[in-house]
Amino acid sequence: MTTSLGAAPAHDALTFIAKPTPQLRTTVVAQEALLPSTEFAALLSCIQSVFDKFTAKLMEFPPGVERATALHEMMDQEVGVVAALPLSCRMGCSGCCHYEVEITHDEAEVLCAIVQNGFPIDRHRLNEQAERERTDAAWGRLGSPANRCVFLGQAGACQTYQHRPAICRKHLVTSLPSLCTTPGGSVLPVHVIMAEILLSAATSLEGATLGSLPKMLRAALEES
Ligand code: SF4
């Protein structure tokens, strides 16, 4: 579920977005190859318009918990358009909760507050995960207990579901859940371009940062 937003756009057409998600970049590159130039220009104009609208909406809220909550509500609304698809994501199929999830600084504040308010997490596991580099081979061990998100309950349910990060909300598949933890499994993700533009807007806000959940949460806990 890693998004790995780069510091600079990888595609010239997206220079109006400081940190587009990789999926947004991929979509734009694919559409550029498919569409006549006028239609591609119209698509870019549409993306910019939506990006500006999302940015303006997010800026109505102060950084931190309030802006994270607004982002989550907006993300649920955008992702809701695919609710009629045969999505296979269910409570208990938690393969995607064993990857290095990325969160915004605002979301780190939300999760930090939950822990400070008494939610018990495995601090040892959090520290071990926070010490890893993104390229650490440990993250590639699909379904490994050492990779479990510290908010994942024993029954495979997210224990902070209402406050889960935006990336968790938009990560949906239509393939068998078992494929999510099968090396080389043919996972069929569902991409919602509006969700990608929204996350790009959230991470492109001035002062916004995005990073691994373990690293961001540990840092927030240390600062608090
Ligand atoms: S926050 Fe919840 S949904 Fe997201 S990875 Fe952790 S357990 Fe899974």
What is residue 92's predicted lDDT score, i.e. its pLDDT?
87
Contact 195, 167 (CB under 8 A): no
Phi (first) and psi of residue 212, to 5 degrees: -65, 140
Distance 217 CA to ligand 1 centre (A): 13
pLDDT at 10: 45
Neighbours of 175 (CB within 10 A): 15
The pLDDT profile of the chain, 224 residues, written as one tens digit per residue, is 544 444 444 457 899 999 999 999 999 999 999 999 999 999 999 999 999 999 999 999 999 999 999 999 999 999 999 999 999 999 888 999 999 999 999 999 999 999 999 999 999 999 999 999 989 999 999 889 999 999 999 899 999 999 999 999 999 999 999 999 898 999 999 999 999 999 999 999 999 989 999 999 999 999 99
Smallest CA-to-CA distance from 215 within 112, 76, 71, 78 is with: 112
* Rounded CA separation 197/14 (Å): 11
Cβ–ligand 1 distance for 103 under 6 Å, the answer no
pLDDT at 7: 41
For 10, phi then psi, to 5°, come to -90, -5
- Of ligand 1's listed atoms, the one at least distance from the Cα of 160 is 2
Give the whole-angstrom CA distance, residue 7 versus residue 210. 10
